[in-house]
Amino acid sequence: MKGKIGLEEHFAVPDTALNPRGTYSDVTWAELKGRLLDLHGERLALMDQHGIEMMVVSLNAPAVQAVPDPKAAVALARQANDALADEVARRPDRFQALAAVAMQDPDAAIAELERAIKDLGFKGVLVNGFSQIGSDPDSAVYYDLPQYRPFWAAVERLGVPFYLHPRSPLPRDARLYAGHPWMMGAAWAFGNETAVHALRLIGSGLFDEHPKLAVVLGHLGENIPFGLWRIDHCNATASKTDGHKARRPIADYVRENFYVTTSGNFSTSALILTMAELGADRVMFSVDWPFEEIAHAATWFDALDIGESDRLKIGRTNAARLLKLAVT
């Protein structure tokens, strides 16, 4: 299929092009770093080769969210957004952008989001999971907390999607994986961490207060679509003190307020199940470049045994509609 649009495609600035400790070897990271810093060379050539018309680019993880000093985090987000805006301006027909924001300072996050959308022309915001704030190395702040309600109000008011991207759990929470490092990162810990964060957002009543919010999850929904029935089944018998604050079943919010992408999850059976649970209108193509291969993602997607109307939706039109992209 020609004309595909990818939504979870990353870049880096020099300050974020560091080896995520314990995830990649130095040799592997050297190649990934080069790919992250490049938009108009190998990346664009592979897009041309595999029918990807546009990438919506975002800052790599954990980046801003791992900077515990709020002022430094705010400065890094602004620096990254300015750098990405310059790159997009070279080829706006091929690249658009999602903003980075420093959730360590909710007021500053609102201000930077508004600048990125209104002044830089960005199409949404991507945040790399929880934020670390202050001197405690194990601090992990999630966005269901009350201090983030004004931020969510701003996202809703601006009418842009919020992409909740994974990051690895901090050492305190990673003890669950002690002795099994193979489960860290994208293999399991990424998705588990992000799914919990997304469910916290729903359970806090966020989408009752802001029903027009649109949240995007990668990797076919970080396993949430596969657990919807059981989540609501178990909560149906929970006591008032144990239950969530949301007014309706969790599945309702996932189907009405969430979108998922195929980034890094090129499983046909998983995609079909996700489409059955959420509908084809809620699924969008992505690669997860440079951590996944464009050729792998595109070849798999183009050969899927699905209807051509669904292929067009997932590959292109869902993203164009959600992000208000100027494509025909």
243 or 158, higher pLDDT? 158
Is 301 domain-assigned? no
Buried residues in 117-136 as b, exposed as e (16+ CB within 10 A): beebebbbbbbbbbbbbeee
Q: What is the pLDDT of residue 240?
A: 67
Give the pLDDT mean for 235-251.
Answer: 85
Question: From the candidates 93, 144, 288, 310, which is the catalytic residue?
Answer: 288
Give the pLDDT mean for 304-319.
Answer: 98
Is 267 domain-assigned? yes
Is 246 domain-assigned? yes
Task: Give which of 167, 171, 153 is closest to 196, Cα–Cα.
Answer: 167
Is 307 domain-assigned? no
Tell me, yes or no, if 288 is annotated catalytic.
yes
Is 210 domain-assigned? yes
In tens, the pLDDT along 185-241 reads 999 999 999 999 999 999 999 999 999 999 999 999 999 999 999 999 999 887 767
Is 190 domain-assigned? yes
Task: Give which of 284, 234, 280, 242 is closest to 263, Cα–Cα.
Answer: 284
d(CA 316, CA 322): 10
Is 89 domain-assigned? yes
Structural domain boundaries, residue 254: 61-282
How many domains, the chain? 1
Q: CATH number of the domain at 156, please.
A: 3.20.20.140
Is 38 domain-assigned? no
